[in-house]
Amino acid sequence: MADGATTTLEHAEHGGHHDVTRTRKIAMWVFLGSECLFFGTLISTFLLYRNRTLGGPTAHEIFDIPFTSVSSFILLMSSLTMVLAHHASDRRDWRQARIWLVATALLGMAFLSGQVFEFTEFVHEGLTVTTSPFGSSFYVLTSFHGAHVAVGVMLLLATAFMSFSGKLRTDTANEGMNVELVALYWHFVDIVWIVIFTVVYLLQV
Amino acid sequence: MTAMPMDAPALPAPAHGHRGIWAWITTTDHKKIGILYGVSAMAFFIVGGVEALLIRTQLAVPNGEVLSADAYNQMFTMHATTMVFLVVMPAAAAFTNYFLPILIGARDVAFPRLNALSYWIFFFGGLFLTLSFFLGGGADGGWFGYAPLSTEVPEIVRMDYWALGIQVLGVASIASSVNFITTVFTMRAPGMTLMRMPVFAWMATVVSFLLLFSLPIVAIGLFQVYFDRNLGTLFFDAASGGDPVLWQHLFWLFGHPEVYVLILPAMGIVSEVLPTFSRKPLFGRSFVIFSGIAIGFMGFGVWAHHMFTSGLGPVAEATFALTTMFIAVPTGVKIFNWLGTVWGGSLRLNTAMLFSLGFIAMFTIGGLSGVTHSIVPADSQQHDTYYVVAHFHYVLFGGAIFGLMSGIYYWFPKVTGKLLSESLGKVHFWLTFIGFNLTFAPMHFLGLNGMPRRTYRYPPGLGFEFWNLLATVGSFVIALSVMVLLWNWIRSARHGKEAGPDPWDARTLEWSITSPPPEHNFDEIPVVQAEDDWWHRKYSTDEAGRPVPIVAGASGEDDDHDAGDGEGHEGIHLPSPSYYPALAALGMFVAVMGLVYVPWGLLAVAAGAVITLWGFFGWSLEPLTRESH
């Protein structure tokens, strides 16, 4: 900790560098700003096509709200474990942090499994990407969200892995990934799901 | 100031002893990355120029025989794609990379390796797009890729190359936008408040925000095109309930902010050049900055004026007609500010200044013809005619390229330490100016006489012959002017006059350091006390407001710092060179190449993903900085 403080001070003195954690946090926020437009466009496409089912399954027929509610709840809970991981890393309690990071990743994976199950069910009921514009836009939207969750799981596991090698501990913040950055990303992906769950699932049935 | 060069001779030692091409591949120095962008942009400028010449040769006489209809489609598509994504954007990125950190008094960008990654993704993206010519033909559905032109015939992979290529270039631009925005918000020198930032730095910031918020929109559109082609989705398939007009919205929601992405850097350059060579501060500086910001916001509210003939309905058309008229206001404000800057100044009409003045004149013509497009009934007549071609070449060539050329003449001495030849420069300017107007002014008449765009032949007897021949002659004059520029580069880099640190008696921080700048830019991070800080360190004003030179060393404040900071250089942290960014970008290239040839290409996708992950993991595990010296 003390080590970290002096390094930051040196950076400030030389003016060329700066508080790296702050810089990275700003960069992450900026990036997430871009992501808002990314998902905004996907959701807009879905809203345009939601009723164009071409005689294939409609949202009302196919969505299983209780099931998706459970998987949404799992994803919401992962934000809680993420907060606990962040909190533990703030206290420099790496054992705790690791546990919560892995717990978050596991919840993320549970959510993804739910999505895979759900997709399989929908395909059996006759909705694929080629069935109708509704099907195309539904699968592309939810798959891109799933891909973001998958990237998040990898980041979480990588962060947990790096905490073993002490990459996170020195807090020069020059090295490795930072629990807080992963947390920002994870919460963002979670919030996007809340929007998707509301707009795509709840409002359509 | 005069004390600074004493350190310079020790510095050029390449990082970690690497020399030659490896030093360029592994570089994380924003200046070298800037040079890489610049050289790549020039190379693609020649590619895009050859495509343009082929188009003009085909159209020189009625029923041209040079190109087939198929080849012509590839040429106009790839000419636009190349010029927009591989010339003007990287040329602006070159200036931004090289000068943004220096202009705000920083030693590098916030994330040097991310910066290298951006360049290499851009490089491979450009390679990918251009390679398509040798792998089944270049893209042929127009740079706007309207469905169904972009989505039909999945067996021919040309539009796959286009959709994926633009996607890759978009990734590069988003990464560098995040980088530049973070740089501007966290790395300004002490005293460099936002409003003291040079106008070019401001415009680069606005551009970054525009890219940040517009690229994800077209990214989704491009994914949808790709999925329509390769997975059988129905996004733009009108027969199955898809909506091709959705693509038009997504594309122009990106495409119109993109127009400002292309022009704002040039506006920034002109806002640096005009004050320097008029020896006056920029007139209404904060107005110029706020107009740039206003353009950035309003740029997201005018996209549908590209779609007036799509049948949007009267309400939408009236709305977008009004917003289009309104966006001319901040642009007009800037024009008057530039005129006010030149007015009453003691002008030096060298090449950089000529290009900037040319910019104002040509851009004004293009801007005025642009306002005519906001009138919906008129636009419906002009739509898809050469009038539109004339308009956007006046803003993008007469605007963006003229501004960038001005930047080349202005900053070449800083980058190379040598002045470009003024006599060759003036030949270059006048050839460009005459050639440009010969080429594009006639297109106004052609368009209003009804000549449609994107048709590879026109019959004789419609009154198109004379203007087309004139335009073709003009295009070859432009080609000649580019050769003069290249000759000037080569000759001046070898035999040019030594520039010295401040050849133009200029105003901003880059001129306070040696030419070329030391690897760490500033021995001592400057403490900024005013707008145009470097000017105010050189000049005070008398009662009449005229500049009076300050005798060197008399002001004391900065020179004392230089002397007193003996051990400071030891602690300058510079980013280490790293090959991981280039490796990660190579992996993406392999993966994207595979995506063209699904399903077998998925093997390449997997291999590329492994390489990219290897790059990222190596990247996050290697140490970041080394000490300079």
- With a cut of 80, say whether residue B253 has pLDDT above it: yes
Predicted confidence at residue B255, as pLDDT, reads: 96
Residue of higher predicted confidence among B1 and B610: B610
Helix (H, G, I), strand (E, B) or coil at B508: coil
Å from A31 to nearest chain B CA? Answer: 6
In order, the DSSP letters of A138-174 are HHHHHHHHHHHHHHHHHHHHHHHHHHHTTTTTS--S-
The mean per-residue pLDDT over the stretch A125-147 comes to 96
Q: Which residues of B touch A25 (CB under 8 A)?
A: none
The mean per-residue pLDDT over the stretch A49-56 comes to 93
Q: Which residues of B touch A162 (CB under 8 A)?
A: 620
- The DSSP symbol for A18 reads -
Tens digits of residue pLDDT in B232-241: 999 999 999 9
CB distance B186 to B195 below 8 Å: no
Q: What's the mean pLDDT when you consider all of chain B?
A: 91
Task: Average the pLDDT over each of B148-152, B539-543, B572-576, B578-582 and give the range with the smallest value.
Answer: B572-576
Å from B214 to nearest chain A CA? Answer: 8
| Interchain proximity B233–A140, CB inside 8 Å | yes
Q: Is B154 on the interface with A (CB under 8 A)?
A: no
- With a cut of 60, say whether residue B17 has pLDDT above it: no
| Interchain proximity A140–B227, CB inside 8 Å | yes
- Give percent of chain B above pLDDT 90: 84
CA distances, B167 to each of B122, B157, B163, B261, B589 (Å): 10, 15, 6, 17, 12
CA-based nearest residue to B182, from B214, B219, B212? B212
Angle value at C-alpha B326, between B323 and B332, nearest 5 degrees = 145
Q: Which of A14, A133, A144 shows the shortest C-beta gap to B568?
A: A14
Ranges of beta strands (E only) in B490-582 are 539-541, 547-549, 573-575
Q: Which of A10, A16, A45 shows the shortest C-beta gap to B106?
A: A16
CB distance B88 to B396 below 8 Å: yes
Residues B4-627, CATH architecture:
Up-down Bundle (1.20)
Q: What is the spatial distance between Cα B128 and Cα B130, in angstroms, rounded to a whole number?
A: 6
Task: Average the pLDDT over each of A129-133, A200-204, B192-196, B552-556 and give the range with the smallest value.
Answer: B552-556
Predicted confidence at residue A169, as pLDDT, reads: 56
Q: Which residues of B touch A26 (CB under 8 A)?
A: 181-182, 185-186
CA-based nearest residue to A31, from B209, B296, B257, B252? B209
Predicted confidence at residue A204, as pLDDT, reads: 85
- With a cut of 70, say whether residue B559 has pLDDT above it: no
Which residue type does B51 have? E
Cis link prior to B12 (omega < 30° from 0)?
Answer: no
Predicted confidence at residue B624, as pLDDT, reads: 61
Predicted confidence at residue B557, as pLDDT, reads: 43
Burial class from Cβ neighbours inside 10 Å (0-12, 13-18, 19+) for residue B541 reads: exposed
Tens digits of residue pLDDT in A176-189: 457 889 999 999 99
At residue B552 the predicted structure's pLDDT band, cuts being 50, 70 and 90, is: low
Tens digits of residue pLDDT in B452-509: 999 999 999 999 999 999 999 999 999 999 999 999 999 999 999 999 999 999 999 9
- With a cut of 90, say whether residue B396 has pLDDT above it: yes
- With a cut of 90, say whether residue B3 has pLDDT above it: no
Tell me how crowded residue B273 is: count the other CB atoms within 10 A of its CB: 29
Cβ-Cβ contacts under 8 Å between A and B: the total is: 133
Residue B626 phi, psi (nearest 5): -130, 165
Q: Which residues of A touch B225 (CB under 8 A)?
A: none
Task: Average the pLDDT over each of B73-87, B145-159, B542-556 and give the range with the smallest value.
Answer: B542-556
Predicted confidence at residue A166, as pLDDT, reads: 63
The mean per-residue pLDDT over the stretch B291-298 comes to 96
Q: What is the spatial distance between Cα B189 and Cα B201, in angstroms, rounded to a whole number?
A: 13
Q: What is the spatial distance between Cα B162 and Cα B85, in angstroms, rounded to a whole number?
A: 11
Tens digits of residue pLDDT in A1-22: 333 333 333 333 344 445 677 8
Q: Which residues of B touch A132 (CB under 8 A)?
A: 234, 240-241
What domains can you pick out in chain A, each with its CATH number? Answer: 2-204 (1.20.120.80)
- With a cut of 90, say whether residue A120 has pLDDT above it: yes
What residue spans define the domains of chain B?
4-627
Radius of gyration of chain B (CA): 25
> With b meaning 16 or more CB within 10 Å and e meaning fewer, what string describes A148-172?
bbbebbebbbbbbebbeeebbbebe
HEC string for B346-386: CCCCCHHHHHHHHHHHHHHHHHHHHHHCCCHHHHHHHCCEH
> With b meaning 16 or more CB within 10 Å and e meaning fewer, what string describes B80-108?
bbbbbbbbbbbbbbbbbbbbbbbbbbbbb
Q: Is B221 on the interface with A (CB under 8 A)?
A: yes
What tokens does A192 get?
A: 């996007």
Q: Which residues, at least 6 apart from B204, have a Cβ–Cβ distance to it below 8 Å?
A: B92, B95, B96, B100, B180, B184, B264, B265, B268
Q: Could you report the predicted ipTM of this complex, rounded to two decimals?
A: 0.90
HEC string for B255-301: HHHHHHHHHHHHHHHHHHHHHHHHCCCCCCHHHHHHHHHHHHHHHHH
Q: Which residues of A touch B182 (CB under 8 A)?
A: 23, 26-27, 30
- With a cut of 80, say whether residue B623 has pLDDT above it: no
The mean per-residue pLDDT over the stretch B62-68 comes to 95
Look up tokens 């069910």; give the residue: A121
Residue of higher predicted confidence among A5 and A112: A112
- With a cut of 60, say whether residue B143 has pLDDT above it: yes
Tens digits of residue pLDDT in B317-363: 999 999 999 999 999 999 999 999 999 999 999 999 999 999 999 99
Cis link prior to B148 (omega < 30° from 0)?
Answer: yes
| Interchain proximity A129–B232, CB inside 8 Å | yes
The mean per-residue pLDDT over the stretch B406-429 comes to 96
Q: Which of B167, B171, B174, B182 would you mutate first to test chain A, the one with the most A CBs within 10 A? A: B182
